[in-house]
Amino acid sequence: MGSSKLISTRELFYIVLLLHQGGVFWVLPYLQVKENGTASLVSLLSGLLLGALIIAVCAFWGSRCRETTFIPSLTQLLGKPLGKIVGLLFVLFYAAFAVISLYTCIEVIGGQLLLETPRTLLICTVFLLVGWLSWNGLEDMARLTVLCVVLVAAILLLALAGSVELFSVENLLPLELRSVDDVRPALLHSTFAYSGLMILFMIYPALNQTRRAASGMLLAMVVSTGIFVVWVLLALGVFGQFSTGSMIWLPLELARMIRISSFLERTEALFAVLWLAIVFVNSSLLLWSVSESLHQLLERQKSRWLHWGLVTLMALACMQIKDILRMFALEWQLARGSVVLLPLLLVLVLAGSWLYGRRKGGAPQ
């Protein structure tokens, strides 16, 4: 599980893309339109600011503390007690994000495709594979992202091609900004969607070269946001504002409308399982981050027991979420917490990196 220099800048691009796409793909368009109507595009784009901030801090930290991985460097930057506490907060955040991401996927599969299959069985199968992939390490996940990006493109093309005849520009109107009270939750959801990028702090030390890494990550984020914008536009154009705000699984509903000639009448099952691959890689990255940072926090060598114990624990946590409403409640709590916590963590890392650089003579490495 060591972070030797294994990841290329191109692979980092794909990782960022999938991190953003995989985590909140199913629910973000719904949450945005529900809270903010046609103005959801604005709140969606505003999340970019947090994403850009995360990337900037990550790159700054990377330029100062290249010699150690993230969690150990926190104790160097902030001192041992504070460093450990901040590290633990990061671990908890990664874990919660991973559980939410996987539960959403299981909810789609169990609630829409396999109605009679026990959720416990679905959770076990998902966590087994995710645990296996994350155990294999970051290099394997980075390679898998390359293959998954093809799926992202294929699904998007499928949706675009299938819904073009159903699309109506009139459904996009009227363009209106709602009250500040309505915009605030949309902003919270949007920023939460970008907070998955926090695991870049774990991935960054594994880069085999940092040149153009920051610009690559930014580009990936912009592309990913663009994809979300396309989804929201498609959903609004096809269903209209009112219907869109009442459909939880918007991409799935959109896929239901798609018909590939007279060969495939309904494609949502295909669509959902293709997206499953993307969620898998995303969740594996998150799980790897939890496991890796926990190993580093406890100063342990790679331990099979610790990793699989953690996987079991997270699977059990996933089983505790009984339905989608509770998942939304959890997501909402995390979103509120993260809006306060994440900037604070970022500022701490930023300040620590700056001070550390000054102590070392200001020479970035």
Partner 1 sequence: MKKIRLQKPQAVAPSVSSQPEVPFSSDLEQNMEWLKNQYIRCSDLIDRQFTIGGSRQRKAAVFYFDGMTSSHVVHDNILQPLLLDAEIAWEDAENDADLKKYFSFVKQHLLPAGEITIVDDLQQGSLAMMNGDVLLLLDGCPQGFIVDAKGFPQRSVDNARNEIVLRGPQEAFTEALRVNTALIRRRLRTSQLKFEEKTLGRYTQTQVAMVYLEGVANDHIIAEVQRRLDNIKDVDSILDGSCLEQYIEDAPFSIFPQLQYTERPDKVAASLLEGRVALIVDGSPDVLLLPLMFVQLLQSPEDYYNRVASGTFMRWIRYMGLLIATTFPSLYVAVTSYHPEMLPLNLLLSIAAAREGVPFPAFVEALIMELAFELLREASIRLPGAIGNTIGIVGALVIGEAAVSAHLVAPQMVIVVAITAIGSFTVPSVEASYPIRLVRFPLMLLAAAFGLYGVMLGLLAVMIHLVHLRSFGFPYLEPLAPLKINELRDVLIRAPRWQMMVRPQFREPDVQSEQSATGSFWRRTVQPLKTRGDESRGQ
Per CB under 8 A, residues contacting partner 1 are: 4-6, 8, 10-11, 109, 113-114, 117, 122, 125, 129, 132-133, 136, 139-140, 142-144, 146-147, 208-209, 262-267, 269-270, 272-274, 276-277, 280
d(CA 123, CA 274): 18
| Distance of closest approach, residue 182 Cβ to partner 1, in angstroms | 36
Smaller CB distance to partner 1: residue 60 or 271? 271
Q: C-beta of 130: minimal distance to partner 1 in Å?
A: 10
Residue 253 or 331: the one with the smaller Cβ distance to partner 1 is 253
The per-residue b/e assignment along 281-314, b for 16 or more CB within 10 angstroms, e otherwise, is bbbbbbbbbbbbbbbbbeeeeeeeebbbebbeeb
Nearer to partner 1, 18 or 144 (CB): 144
- In Å, how far from its chain's centre is CA 169? 30
Closest CB 140 distance from partner 1, rounded Å:
5
The residues, any chain, with a CB within 8 Å of residue 17's CB and separated by 6 or more, are 145, 149, 152, 220, 223, 224
Least Å from the CB of residue 199 to partner 1: 19
Closest separation between CB of residue 145 and partner 1, Å? 8
In angstroms, give the least distance from the CB of 133 to partner 1: 5
Nearer to partner 1, 139 or 182 (CB): 139
Indicate the residue among 54 and 285 with the shorter CB distance to partner 1.
285
Name the nearest CA neighbour of 232 among 9, 11, 25, 13.
Answer: 25
Three-state SS annotation for 114-151: CCCCCHHHHHHHHHHHHHHHHHHCHHHHHHHHHHHHHH
Kindly tell me which of 60 and 288 has the beta carbon lying closer to partner 1. Answer: 288
Contacts of 245 (CB under 8 A, 6+ apart): 30, 33, 34, 37
- Which of the 8 DSSP states describes residue 172? G
Residue 71 or 207: the one with the smaller Cβ distance to partner 1 is: 207
Whole-number Å distance between alpha carbons of 196 and 327: 17
The residues, any chain, with a CB within 8 Å of residue 133's CB and separated by 6 or more, are 140, 141, 144, 280, 281, 284
CB of 209 to partner 1, least distance (A): 8
